[in-house]
Chain A
Amino acid sequence: DVKVTQSSRYLVKRTGEKVFLECVQDMDHENMFWYRQDPGLGLRLIYFSYDVKMKEKGDIPEGYSVSREKKERFSLILESASTNQTSMYLCASSINREGGELFFGEGSRLTVL
């Protein structure tokens, strides 16, 4: 089975802190994604990556950056956390660029005080 692991299930940070959310997949998938999930808004794509060191902006990239130095790992970075970034963050991966299934991690719930 594909496993997408998000290192932190729950985080509490203070405004202005730098926050790293880590995601690792174990199935040699090409694509990796970061989504944000908010009640009443569904999931919104922040960034995705289709190869090591490659990234593309999603619908809401402002205030976020990403890093993909190794194929299996995709990090989401909040350079200076703000209260409006309090949310559930979901990482996902897919095999390649052929429209297949996204496999999701269990999510990281971030609270910014």
Chain B
Amino acid sequence: AQSVTQPDIHITVSEGASLELRCNYSYGATPYLFWYVQSPGQGLQLLLKYFSGDTLVQGIKGFEAEFKRSQSSFNLRKPSVHWSDAAEYFCAVGAQANFGNEKLTFGTGTRLTIIP
């Protein structure tokens, strides 16, 4: 069975500072990995995904993530955050046996607060 751990429940970052959100997964084969963002009162929106190939993945809104198999990690990064990045961020893992995106397992989320 697959699992995801987001160790940070809440992170506060100054506007303009860099950001890294941690995600660790457990899965026996090559995983399908996703980062989603949820703004207050909204549904989730895909930031980026990794299926195979280049382990550094670029997403929308200036985000990137790096798949590190040896560390079972898929951390999300942004070089300079904006106040509009305040939201909740979810990492998710899927299995090829489930067509990648069926039966996704989501982490518990990291809430990002931006201070001026």
Contact = CB atoms under 8 A, between A and B. Distances in A.
Interface of A: 4, 31, 35, 40-45, 48, 50, 56, 58-59, 90, 92, 94, 97-102, 104-107
B19 to A, nearest CB: 20
Contacts, number: 63
A106 B99 contact: no
Contacts of B42: 106
Interface residues of B, number: 27
Contacts of A102: 36, 44, 46, 101, 104
Contacts of A100: 100-101
B102 A48 contact: yes
A101 B49 contact: yes
B90 interface: yes
A97 B90 CA distance: 22
Contact of B104 (A45, A56, A106): A45
Interface string B74-93: 00000000000000001010
Contacts of A31: 101-102
19 contacts: A4-B43, A31-B101, A40-B108, A42-B107, A45-B104, A48-B102, A56-B102, A59-B103, A59-B105, A94-B101, A97-B99, A97-B102, A98-B99, A99-B32, A99-B51, A102-B36, A102-B44, A106-B43, A107-B43
